[in-house]
């Protein structure tokens, strides 16, 4: 077996109990990283941890509800107390807003989406980057944005603007953290087959990627592993010259 490329590294992945976050946890663990799975879904996080351990990897579940931003410092502190270091942060947790149209969205739902999708990643980046800077030796941060940050049609204002905010937060943080050898990037998935879209049946999903605002060039949805592979790449030494970027993993849906 070839040498695992993240041996000795510690990763923290939010939203690691499902979908893209889960696939990312497994991809990082398969490369030897010890992974903290932060999620509000405790049984889901425990399931992912068991699956990682059965595959010979190391992971631990940390319960946190990112809507309660005051609980974020304690969650990061728990990982540091157990692992002594964090080398990689992946902000994958995210939610879509109910009734997310300009005319229909409530202020409460706007706030909920912005808090989970944008404010929580900011606070996590701040906490983790402070540790990385103090420890020295660099680090990697990857934020999961969305092709919804780049479209007009089907714009979902709260979700789309939270994901656009994440792109700019990524750029600014990359510039600020570059002197500390910390790479900060984002990925922007298109339609991806995860529980987030479980309200769509197979036929509707296929139609969505074939025609209309969300269509892509291959007319097929992404799998969570497609996104995780790009996130993994952004955590490997091979991508050391990439920072402040948003990589689109959407089969050309956004050009």
- 194 contributes a contact to ligand NAD by CB under 6 A: yes
The catalytically annotated residue of 159, 187, 221, 227 is: 159
Choose, by CB under 6 A, the member of 109, 146, 216, 230 that binds ligand NAD: 146
- 110-118 contacts: CB < 8 A, separation 24 or more? 110/158, 112/67, 113/158, 113/159, 113/162, 114/158, 114/161, 114/162, 114/165, 115/66, 115/67, 115/69, 116/66, 116/67, 117/159, 117/162, 117/163, 117/166, 118/162, 118/165, 118/166, 118/169
- 144 contributes a contact to ligand NAD by CB under 6 A: yes
Choose, by CB under 6 A, the member of 37, 59, 64, 72 that binds ligand NAD: 64
Question: For this structure, is 26 an active site residue?
Answer: no
- 94 contributes a contact to ligand NAD by CB under 6 A: yes
Of 11-19, 50-58, 103-111, 123-131, the window that binds ligand NAD (rule: CB under 6 A) is 11-19
Least distance from ligand NAD to the Cβ atom of residue 189, Å: 4
Q: CB under 8 Å to 238, separation ≥6 — which residues?
A: none
Of 123-131, 172-180, 189-197, 238-246, the window that binds ligand NAD (rule: CB under 6 A) is 189-197
User: Which of helix, strand or coil describes residue 139?
Assistant: strand
**Cα separation of 189 and 211, whole Å?**
17
User: Which spans of this chain sit near ligand NAD (rule: CB under 6 A)?
Assistant: 15, 17-21, 39-41, 44, 64-67, 92-95, 116, 144, 146, 189, 191-192, 194-197
- Residues known to be catalytic: 159
């Amino acid at each position: 077996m070839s040498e695992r490329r993240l041996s000795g590294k510690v990763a923290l992945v939010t939203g690691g109990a499902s979908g893209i976050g889960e696939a990312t946890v497994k991809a990082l663990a398969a490369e030897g990283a010890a992974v903290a799975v932060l999620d509000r879904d405790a049984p889901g996080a425990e399931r992912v941890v068991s699956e990682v351990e059965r595959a010979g990897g190391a992971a631990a579940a940390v319960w946190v509800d990112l809507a309660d931003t005051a609980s974020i410092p304690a969650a990061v502190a728990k990982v540091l107390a157990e692992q002594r270091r964090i080398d990689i942060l992946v902000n994958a947790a995210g939610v879509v807003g109910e009734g997310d149209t300009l005319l229909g969205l409530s202020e409460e739902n706007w706030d909920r989406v912005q808090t989970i999708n944008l404010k929580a990643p900011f606070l996590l980046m701040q906490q983790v980057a402070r540790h990385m800077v103090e420890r020295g030796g660099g680090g990697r941060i990857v934020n999961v944005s969305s092709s919804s940050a780049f479209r007009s049609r089907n714009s979902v204002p709260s979700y789309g603007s939270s994901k656009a905010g994440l792109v700019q937060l990524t750029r600014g943080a990359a510039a600020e953290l570059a002197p500390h050898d910390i790479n900060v990037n984002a990925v922007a998935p298109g339609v991806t087959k995860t529980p987030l879209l479980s309200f769509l049946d197979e036929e509707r999903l296929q139609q969505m990627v074939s025609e209309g605002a969300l269509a892509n060039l291959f007319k097929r949805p992404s799998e969570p592993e497609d996104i995780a592979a790009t996130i993994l790449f952004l955590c490997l030494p091979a991508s050391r010259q990439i920072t402040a970027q948003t990589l689109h993993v959407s089969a050309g849906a956004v050009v």
